[in-house]
Amino acid sequence: MPKSTATSTLEIALGSLAYDPMQRFGLHLSELRRSRGISQEGLALDSGLARSYLGGVERGQRNIALVNICRLAQALDVPPSRLLEFDVSRPTPKSRAKRK
């Protein structure tokens, strides 16, 4: 499938939501990680994920798989559901609103 088709499919799916769940998830993950004093590199190492992939997730550029949510939750010592407790009502920072 061409990349433009996949992107437009994602944009169509996100268009029905009042917020971007990938951006909200990434922001929440970043805040949770920082509140525990863990660097992005440290979380990547503890979870077995690539640091560049984790950075993309935190920037809201990656549509993370459930298995990776579970790996991050284990590394952060929280239940996976905790990673999905992001605030859908607050505005997304403008620096995070851009998607490639």
Encode the chain (100 residues) as per-residue pLDDT tens digits.
455 565 667 777 777 788 899 999 999 999 999 999 999 999 999 999 999 999 999 999 999 999 999 999 999 999 999 999 998 887 666 544 444 4
Amino acid letter at 61? Q
Residue 33 is predicted with a pLDDT of: 98
CA distances from 54 to 2, 15, 67, 84, 91 (A): 24, 24, 14, 16, 22
User: Domain spans of the chain?
Assistant: 19-83
Q: How far is CA 85 from CA 1, 2, 8, 63, in A?
A: 32, 33, 27, 16
Q: Distance (Å, rounded) from C-alpha 83 to C-alpha 16?
A: 22
What CATH number does domain 19-83 carry, 1.10.10.60, 1.20.140.10, 1.10.760.10, 1.10.260.40?
1.10.260.40
| pLDDT for position 18 | 84
Q: For the chain, how big is the Rg over CA atoms in Å?
A: 14
The pLDDT, as a whole number, for residue 14 is 75
Tokens of 2: 């061409």
